[in-house]
Amino acid sequence: MYVAPSILSADFGNLAAEIRAICEAGCDLVHVDVMDGHFVVNAVAKAATKPLDIHLMVENNSFFADLFLPLKPKFLTFHIEEEKHPLRLIDHIRKNGVGPGIVLNPHTPVSAIEHIIDEVDIVLLMSVNPGFGGQKFMPVVLEKTRALRELIERKNAKCLIEVDGGINGLNAPDLEEAGADILVAGNHIFSSNSYEQAIRAIKLEF
């Protein structure tokens, strides 16, 4: 299991130190939620020693993709609900040497991306309504994760499954069993006394 701490829950007054701390604590990716502007992403990129996992929560995906592609994140994901030309954007992201991905809100069915599942490197399932941290995990996303894993195997696709929202050491085993590859956690990690122990709990390293 890979862990991607979400900086949405970090101390923004001490952001560089927070990023260094989670990288040293054993995270695999640094998850960046983009809702406005780009100054935060640039600051994270300077401090991170692990690859960036950039999640666009914007309307103008192409504009923001072009802002962040030069940072060469590991993944750049966008919401299928907000994009009229997903295949065009996926191709653009890949041609710039970055792994393209699709995000699904909690109530968007997996069937919405069946036609493009073999074109992306990662699918991010939101297990809370996006916008702010500290929300509770929606159990319905467990079945959605299983459905996505079945679709990937049926289509012989090569993409990873990432789940974001309300993740902790208690629901991580169920998500692993359901087929998730990467778990995004913000509040669970940044509110803990030990970032390393919180990350190890999600990785199921006891």
Q: Which of 28, 53, 121, 164 is catalytic?
A: 164
91 counts as catalytic:
no
| 52-56/30-34 β-pairing | parallel
Q: Which of 11, 28, 33, 121 is catalytic?
A: 33
| 52-56/160-164 β-pairing | unpaired
28 counts as catalytic:
no
Give the sign of the dihedral formed by CA 69, CA 93, CA 56, CA 139.
negative
| All residues at 6 or more sequence positions from 74 whose CB lies less than 8 Å from its CB, including other chains | 29, 51, 52, 53, 98, 99
Whole-number Cα distances in Å, 51 to 29, 32, 136, 175, 195: 5, 11, 27, 22, 18
Neighbours of 20 (CB within 10 A): 13
Report yes or no: 189 and 5 within 8 Å, Cβ to Cβ. yes
Q: Hey, which residues does 162 pair with through a beta bridge? A: 124, 182
Active site residues: 33, 164
